[in-house]
Amino acid sequence: MLEMEDFLMIRDLYHQGMNISQISRETGFNRRTVRKYITTQLPPTASKRIGKPSKLDKYMDYIEQRITEYPLSAARIYREIQDQGFTGKYTIVKDYIRQIRPEERVPAILRYETKPGVQAQVDWAECDRIEVDESSRKLYCFSMILGYSRVRFMEYTLSTDAITFILCHQHAFEYFGGYTQEILYDNIKQIIIKRAIRPKENTWNSKFEDFFTYHGFIPRLCKPYCPHTKGKIENSIGYMKRDFLLGSSFESLADMNQQILHWLNRVNGEVHGTTNEIPFERLKQENLKSLSTIQPYQVRREEERKISKDAYVSYLGNRYSVPYQYAGRSAILELQENRMVIRVGSEVICSHTVIPGHSRTIREKQHFKGLLSLAMTCNSRCRQKSKPLFKMLGPQVEHRPLSVYDSYSSEVNR
């Protein structure tokens, strides 16, 4: 079919006195086409193509009604019309719904900027799994960001319990050089047990309540189902996963935390995309509450372990010796910073400094003093008490009295 411009050109050349052959040579169209369009007064129009009826035709009104009433998924609509007898494929349903679904407008969000030293935001993130102590464990990332300066802190952990939560806060405060007046959180059990209408009536996690009361900062809670309230921390976690975690290699949990610290120092020293300033430079204006004005908050964590038969306990992939007399018993590890105290019942049996790395063995000689002599004595006793596995029997010999031989000798002499 000719374009409108070609149709008008053929008509114009014809009115200039050119014949069909001349117009054909001039335009490149064959003479039959030229003859057709100089003898008609109607411009070329595209003929409508009659398509084949679709299996979806008789369900379109129903689909439109359902989509208008509720934002149902294509899979849901597909199941519903299948129940009504539809035998077509899911693809044509999905494509049709994409065409008719009303456009959803994303509501505008007011960016909330905080003044220096006022607020920080905190969140947990799951980061796949990690092999520790010969078992697969979930890996978590604690993250805190200062609202004004955008300085970030992150730490990987194997637990999200209240004690770990408090320790991560302490490490973040040390990294920042202080803490803000208030900190924004999700509604998680490490912080709050029961949320009330009035904040004063909230039931806080007792361990965390003791921590924030000691430091004097105010915990703020996000409104339920409003994740954009913590937009700064959400974006920070997403950036960490893309820019640091994805495709990286680590030797241990300690190595991960060492590497993330280097990464934090780098990104906190680069221009931030929102403030267009360097976070470390803005940190100088935060005016944080100083840690030097209070004594360090004492945190002690406990974990249960089984002492192995060779007198070791395992912690974060490393093995620590204990006095051999306690082999096979259950023990409690009391952990405070990088110190580990090992207790059996109420008795403290030894202590260790927690070391970084993986698959290392920390052995104290005094824990095995006397074990060799005890083993030798035990082996000797076992040999004395042991019975042979079998007996060797000699040949069977018949025993006769001497009178038999005497009678035999008398018979011979006769």
Q: Is residue 44 part of a domain?
A: no
Average pLDDT rounded to a whole number, residues 8-23: 82
Comparing 294 with 401, which gets the higher pLDDT? 294
Task: Supply the pLDDT for residue 71.
Answer: 79
The yes-or-no verdict on residue 108 having pLDDT over 80 is: no
- pLDDT tens, 171-181? 999 999 999 99
Comparing 257 with 225, which gets the higher pLDDT? 257
268 and 306 assigned to the same domain: no
Distance CA 364, CA 104 (A): 67
Tell me the CATH number at 264. Answer: 3.30.420.10
Q: Is residue 399 part of a domain?
A: no
Q: Is residue 379 part of a domain?
A: no
Between 28-37, 143-152, 173-182, 281-290, the lowest mean confidence (pLDDT) is in 28-37
| Structural domains of the chain, count | 4
9 and 126 assigned to the same domain: no
Sequence-distant contacts of 246-255: CB under 8 A, at least 24 apart: 251/357, 251/358, 252/316, 252/317, 252/356, 252/357, 252/358, 253/130, 253/132, 253/139, 253/156, 253/158, 253/316, 253/317, 254/316, 254/356, 254/357, 254/358, 255/356, 255/357, 255/358
- In 3D space, the residue among 151, 146, 152 whose CA is nearest the CA of residue 118 turns out to be 146
Average pLDDT rounded to a whole number, residues 283-299: 90
Task: Supply the pLDDT for residue 247.
Answer: 75
Q: Is residue 403 part of a domain?
A: no
The yes-or-no verdict on residue 206 having pLDDT over 90 is: no
131 and 277 assigned to the same domain: yes
341 and 358 assigned to the same domain: yes
179 and 256 assigned to the same domain: yes
The yes-or-no verdict on residue 240 having pLDDT over 80 is: yes
223 and 84 assigned to the same domain: no
Comparing 380 with 154, which gets the higher pLDDT? 154
Q: Is residue 388 part of a domain?
A: no
Q: Which of 242, 270, 293 is the last residue of a domain?
A: 293
Which range has highest mean pLDDT (101-110, 191-200, 337-346)? Answer: 337-346
- pLDDT tens, 390-404? 666 666 666 667 676
141 and 246 assigned to the same domain: yes
210 and 126 assigned to the same domain: yes
Domain residues for 69?
57-100
26 and 64 assigned to the same domain: no
274 and 310 assigned to the same domain: no
Mean pLDDT value across the chain? 83
Comparing 401 with 55, which gets the higher pLDDT? 55
Task: Supply the pLDDT for residue 19.
Answer: 87
Comparing 406 with 412, which gets the higher pLDDT? 406
Number of H helices, E strands in the chain: 13, 14
Residue in this structure with the two tokens 């000719």, named with its chain if needed: 2
70 and 170 assigned to the same domain: no
- pLDDT tens, 302-339? 888 999 999 999 988 899 999 999 999 999 998 887 88
Task: Supply the pLDDT for residue 225.
Answer: 47
Q: Is residue 392 part of a domain?
A: no
What predicted TM-score, i.e. pTM, was given to this entire model?
A: 0.55
263 and 156 assigned to the same domain: yes
Comparing 166 with 108, which gets the higher pLDDT? 166
Between 32-36, 111-115, 178-182, the lowest mean confidence (pLDDT) is in 111-115
Q: Is residue 106 part of a domain?
A: no
Burial 367-395 (b: 16+ CB within 10 A, else e): bbeeeeeeeeeeeeeeeeeeeeeeeeeee
- pLDDT tens, 181-199? 999 998 888 888 887 767 6
Task: Supply the pLDDT for residue 374.
Answer: 77
CB neighbour list of residue 279: distance below 8 Å, 6 or more residues apart: 146, 149, 150, 151, 152, 267, 268, 269, 272
Percentage of the chain beyond pLDDT 70 is 83
Helix (H) or strand (E) run with residue 336 in it: strand 330-336
Q: Is residue 353 part of a domain?
A: yes
